[in-house]
């Protein structure tokens, strides 16, 4: 997405740069790439952003309460089908079938001999 840097307003760009607007936001605003933003910074002799305390930080939200977490879990689990519920269960259902082997008299005698 290479853009045209000739149409960028220098005053507005400097204001965004000095306000520590995130580079990703500036790329979208001016429809240019990150490399072009860096080249413009060097071309217009703008300061580098070394002070990490001034960098953009998203607003923090409060942590959810245990009650809110439990409610959200119930809402999510209500949408599960049986296969998903079985797949995510902590204790897995061990489904198996036993084969019924007919036991004849000779086999019974051999098993009785082994037990002795």
Q: pLDDT tens digits, residue range 55-100?
A: 777 788 899 999 999 999 999 999 999 889 888 888 776 777 777 6
Average pLDDT of the chain to the nearest whole number? 83
Are the C-beta atoms of 49 and 22 separated by less than 8 Å?
no
Report d(CA 81, CA 83) in Å as an integer: 6
pTM above 0.75, yes or no: no
Q: Ramachandran region of residue 104, left (φ > 0), alpha (ψ -120 to 50) or beta? A: beta
What are the CB-based long-range contacts (under 8 Å, 24+) for 39-45? 39/5, 40/5, 40/8, 40/13, 41/17, 44/10, 44/13, 44/14
pLDDT bucket at 5, cuts 50 / 70 / 90: confident
Residue ranges of domains in the chain:
5-54
Instruction: Calculate what percentage of the chain has a pLDDT beyond 70.
Output: 79
Report d(CA 91, CA 39) in Å as an integer: 57
Report d(CA 25, CA 41) in Å as an integer: 15
């Amino acid at each position: 997405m290479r853009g045209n840097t000739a149409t960028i307003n220098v005053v507005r760009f400097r204001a965004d740069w000095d306000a520590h607007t995130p580079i990703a936001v500036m790329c979208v605003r001016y429809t240019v790439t990150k490399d072009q933003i860096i080249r413009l910074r060097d071309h217009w002799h703008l300061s580098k952003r070394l002070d990490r305390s001034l960098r953009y930080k998203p607003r923090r939200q409060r942590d959810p309460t245990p009650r809110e977490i439990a409610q959200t879990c119930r809402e999510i689990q209500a949408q599960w089908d049986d296969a998903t519920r079985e797949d995510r269960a902590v204790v897995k259902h061990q489904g198996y079938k036993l084969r019924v082997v007919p036991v004849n008299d000779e086999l019974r005698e051999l098993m009785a001999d082994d037990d002795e």
